[in-house]
Amino acid sequence: MVSIKDVARCAGVAISTVSKVLNDYPNVSEETRERVNRAVEELNFVPNSVAAALSSKQAGRVALLVDINSKTSAIDEINMQHITGALNRAMELNLDVITLFSFMYRNMTVEELIRYLKSQSIAGIIIYGMSKEDKVLHKLVETQEFKCVVVNAPLVNKSTSSVGIDDRKAQYDVARKTIEENNCKRVLYIAGKRNGYVTDERLLGMEQLAKELGLTVLVRNGEFSELLARNITMKYAKNKDVVVCASDLMAIGAMKALIDMDIFRPVCGFDGIVLMGYVGKQMNTVRQNFAEVSRNAMEELHTLLAGGEGRKVVLPHQLVRMKYEDIIC
Amino acid sequence: MVSIKDVARCAGVAISTVSKVLNDYPNVSEETRERVNRAVEELNFVPNSVAAALSSKQAGRVALLVDINSKTSAIDEINMQHITGALNRAMELNLDVITLFSFMYRNMTVEELIRYLKSQSIAGIIIYGMSKEDKVLHKLVETQEFKCVVVNAPLVNKSTSSVGIDDRKAQYDVARKTIEENNCKRVLYIAGKRNGYVTDERLLGMEQLAKELGLTVLVRNGEFSELLARNITMKYAKNKDVVVCASDLMAIGAMKALIDMDIFRPVCGFDGIVLMGYVGKQMNTVRQNFAEVSRNAMEELHTLLAGGEGRKVVLPHQLVRMKYEDIIC
DNA sequence: TTGTAGGCGTTATCAT
DNA sequence: ATGATAACGCCTACAA
């Protein structure tokens, strides 16, 4: 393995000089810098990130904490987009990434989790799918032992940023579009998981719209479950004009139920997952570009690691209509 | 951060002794071993895997190479299962994992890829979704610079194992079941990607069945594309009795086409992805437990790293019928 | 501007 | 059976 030592010898300089060049330190003459870079090229040197991580405690090792509780593998699409988006940017930024799924840290206390992360020389974390009830993760963020970026949850402190779309506005937008297209008055709103951040935000969006348009809204908790949404629809949809769902999966459950009940009601969802194209009926939904959101999360973590302060980053969303022809390829 | 040094001091022994205990070396008295373990408990010590990786070149860092070319995010389910299965076992085995998606190494030469992996202190690799045309990956395996496990491709050498189901038999089984249930004679077989390992194996299974049952088979390459399968079905299915597909995605494309053509033909798929439950018609398919396969791959890599020799590991498959009621939750 | 040297937390090779 | 001690590859004061 070609190491920094070889580069130093080849360039005729000291190891530390090479290190300085590699890490863009000042106080290196242009000439030496060039000589070192030539040596790097020539020897095809790639810095050993493990050694770097060990040596400098503030190095670029980052962990992805991915929630994976649901058995519904439609969610896989979202997680996968999250992971690829993050890894993509991480590679460009030269950050080392390890991925942790919730089942891997479910049984840990905060202390254990912190120790584990430190034992891995982790400096920054991105958290996906965090709910209000994740005590451990909340404490983790609060300790500020690591730089954190929380995706789709409004947690911000000095070393923690939040990244995501404006859930309230998005829910407002998609519901408004669907309701106006179909001239509805009575709404069945199937909300997400009780105590979820996005659940509450989206509900607020729906309520605001209801007030503005003078709608009557029946709210039921679907827990992001397709089956529950199905059952709720069976029970309440008949004397409603529209079913607004806080997730695509629930929208699919609702739509399938309506088909089985042999009545038509417009349904709209939230997320823009591919599965929406397979239901047979087109639905409005909010397209979140999960990969892009995650890229931004990684970017934000990077600036945090570079000394930036935590803040709230809001990304744009898009209203779309998912149909089979657009999905297939 | 509590280090091995602290443990040593706390237990009143030398650092090297602690290391021996931690790594289950012989030549440590039962008493010292206990004392050390108590200290570990007391201090909540977690070994720093980064330092370990740096120190011992044969350490437990492992890379997952995941193919991600297809835009079809139904594949996400498979990749996700692969990743979770592998990570799950890796955590139990105390192996450090980094995940690489194909877009991250697509533009690298073998040498670059090897250097990169070495710079990460990687000792073992699991490769998912490898095709015959992946020159770089083939060379990578051939160099034997790393211990490798290839999932669903028959590559074996001294330091390379292959893990997967028996594709030939599985294709034979599922096609046979479907054909006998419906008493068919004329088969439209939509194969996978030209030059794919599994494609060829599955085709062989189909051909063997055709010979045994005296079937006529029209073979077309669907490239694992839902759209292509759809078009092929439109064109050829009319005067066939059954459509056998080498993947679920293609089976879905075929089935949707048949529905649009308003004719009925039995269709069978291959993989057992959740999406199969959303098509409206039940289909036979081969259920591969991707997470389990991947767990086994990690297990195999572990034994390889421990000095085992490469071999072929064949895992069981299962015939299932996917319907919506079973999928939803 | 450049080089020297100590340290990051482990592992592994020797003595003892 | 146990303990010094030298790597591993890199970073970073500090010295020159």
Q: What is the CATH number of the domain that holds B48?
A: 1.10.260.40
Note the pLDDT of residue A210.
98
Whether A206 has a pLDDT exceeding 90, the answer reads yes
The CA distance from B325 to B288, in Å, is 20
Half-sphere exposure of A302 (CA within 13 A, CB side): 17
Domain identity same for B185 and B46: no
- Total count of domains within chain A: 3
Domain assignment present for B138: yes
What is the C-alpha end-to-end distance of chain A, expressed in Å? 43
Can you read off the two tokens belonging to residue B136? 């770089």
Residues of chain A found within 8 Å of residue B72, distances taken between Cβ atoms: 274, 329
Note the pLDDT of residue A120.
87
The CA distance from A227 to B20, in Å, is 53
Question: B56: pLDDT confidence band, cut at 50, 70 and 90?
Answer: confident
Test mutation, B76, B89, B98, B110, chain A, max A CBs within 10 A:
B76
Q: Is the CB of B204 under 7 A from strand C?
A: no
Helices A75-93 and A290-305 pack at an angle, to 10 degrees, of 40
Q: Which of the 8 DSSP states describes residue B28?
A: -
Q: Is the CB of A30 under 7 A from strand C?
A: no
Through-space separation of residue A14 CA and nucleotide C6 C1' in angstroms:
16
Question: B142: pLDDT confidence band, cut at 50, 70 and 90?
Answer: very high
- Give A328 or A18, the one with higher predicted confidence: A18
Domain identity same for B41 and B80: no
Domain identity same for B147 and B89: yes
The CA distance from B314 to B164, in Å, is 5
Q: What is the CA radius of gyration of chain B?
A: 24
Q: Tell me the range of A115-129, B208-222, B271-285 where mean pLDDT is highest.
A: B208-222
Domain assignment present for A321: no
Chain C positions within 7 A of any protein Cβ atom are 1-5, 7-13
The CA distance from A127 to A304, in Å, is 14
Mean pLDDT across A41-52: 89
Can you read off the two tokens belonging to residue A240? 């409603």
Domain assignment present for A329: no
Whether A312 has a pLDDT exceeding 70, the answer reads yes
Domain identity same for B279 and B310: no
Domain assignment present for B43: yes
Q: Which of the 8 DSSP states describes residue A271?
A: B
- Select from A61, A121, A328 the Cβ nearest to the Cβ of B227: A328
Domain identity same for A254 and A185: yes
Can you read off the two tokens belonging to residue B296? 């086994």
Domain identity same for A35 and A179: no
Query: Between chains, do A74 and B274 touch, taking CB under 8 Å as contact?
Result: yes
Domain assignment present for A328: no
Which residues of chain B from 201 to 220 reach within 8 Å of chain A, CB to CB? none
Domain identity same for A157 and A214: no
Q: How does pLDDT run across B59-88, given as a tens digit for each residue?
A: 678 999 999 876 666 678 999 999 999 999
Which residues of chain B from 67 to 96 reach within 8 Å of chain A, CB to CB? 68, 71-74, 76-77, 79-81, 83-84, 87-88, 91, 96
Which amino acid belongs to residue B1? M
Domain identity same for A199 and A303: no
Domain identity same for A49 and A124: no
Tell me the percentage of chain B whose pLDDT exceeds 90.
78
In chain A, DSSP finds a helix count (H) and a strand count (E) of 14, 12
Domain enclosing residue B66, as ranges: 60-164+290-316
Half-sphere exposure of A23 (CA within 13 A, CB side): 14
Domain assignment present for B252: yes
Domain assignment present for B112: yes
Note the pLDDT of residue A28.
87
Domain identity same for B88 and B222: no
Q: A115: which residues sit within 8 A by CB, 6+ positions away?
A: B2, B44, B46
Q: How does pLDDT run across A145-166, given as a tens digit for each residue?
A: 999 999 999 999 999 999 999 9
Domain identity same for A270 and A245: yes
Query: Between chains, do B278 and A274 touch, taking CB under 8 Å as contact?
Result: no
Domain assignment present for B327: no
Which residues of chain B from 268 to 307 reach within 8 Å of chain A, CB to CB? 273-275, 278-280
Domain final residue, candidates B58, B75, B98: B58
Q: What is the CATH number of the domain that holds B152?
A: 3.40.50.2300
- Select from A54, A73, A99 the Cβ nearest to the Cβ of B50: A54
- Residues A228 and A250 sit within 8 Å (Cβ to Cβ): yes
Can you read off the two tokens belonging to residue A320? 């779309």
What would the DSSP string read from start to end of A280-295?
Answer: SS-EEEEE--HHHHHH
Query: Between chains, do A87 and B77 touch, taking CB under 8 Å as contact?
Result: no
Domain identity same for A36 and A130: no
Residues of chain B found within 8 Å of residue A68, distances taken between Cβ atoms: 84
